[in-house]
Amino acid sequence: MNQFSKIMLATSLSATMMLGAVTVTQSDDSAQAATQYQKPYYTYKGVFNYQDNNALRDKTFYNALKNDNFKYENLKVGESTQEDVENALGSNLKKYYQEKGITYYERNDIIVGIKDGKLVDLTLLVDKVKNSSQDMASHVKKGEVYDTDSTYVAFYRGNSIVIKSKTISQK
């Protein structure tokens, strides 16, 4: 009987140790998942060029542009199609001009450039936004251009933000 008690004790200790080891391993995986890097993103919907627009004051807006993770009306330069643009902004876009195979359209102070059925250029006018020059200056150095994975982002204080696809620059 004494030997039977020792075997039962040893078995229960072993089982407890194994359960504890499994628990530690699982929580260790959770800690790794929680520390993975997430790219900043920013999605803007609605009229951009209006007096009280706070996007130009928002650090997250600039971080998203810098990390190639900005969408306007769910449109992303270099990824969205002409059909996506028409669905988001309407099919009655005003033709602005054409240059180097890119057709530019304007709607509500937003200029989009379409080439071969793809959105390759997005210009956000900011001339009506109160303090746009100062807000941009506090986040972006004068003349600074963000060179991201798939776009270039240029800032023209008091005037506009231009997001251009790198694919048109390479052709």
Please tell me whether residue 136 adopts helix, strand or coil conformation. Answer: helix
Domain ranges of the chain: 1-36, 42-170
> 140 vs 57, 78, 163, CA distance in Å?
11, 23, 15
From the list 25, 27, 23, 26, the residue with the least C-alpha distance to 15 is 23
- Return the amino acid letter for 141: K
pLDDT at res. 88: 96
Instruction: Check: pTM over 0.85? Answer yes or no.
Output: no
Q: What pLDDT is recorded for position 68? A: 94
- Mean pLDDT for each 10-residue chunk of the chain (171 residues)? 56 54 49 69 93 95 96 97 96 93 95 97 96 95 94 96 86 50
Would you give the end-to-end CA distance of the chain in angstroms?
86
- pLDDT given for residue 14 in this prediction: 55
pLDDT of residue 53: 93
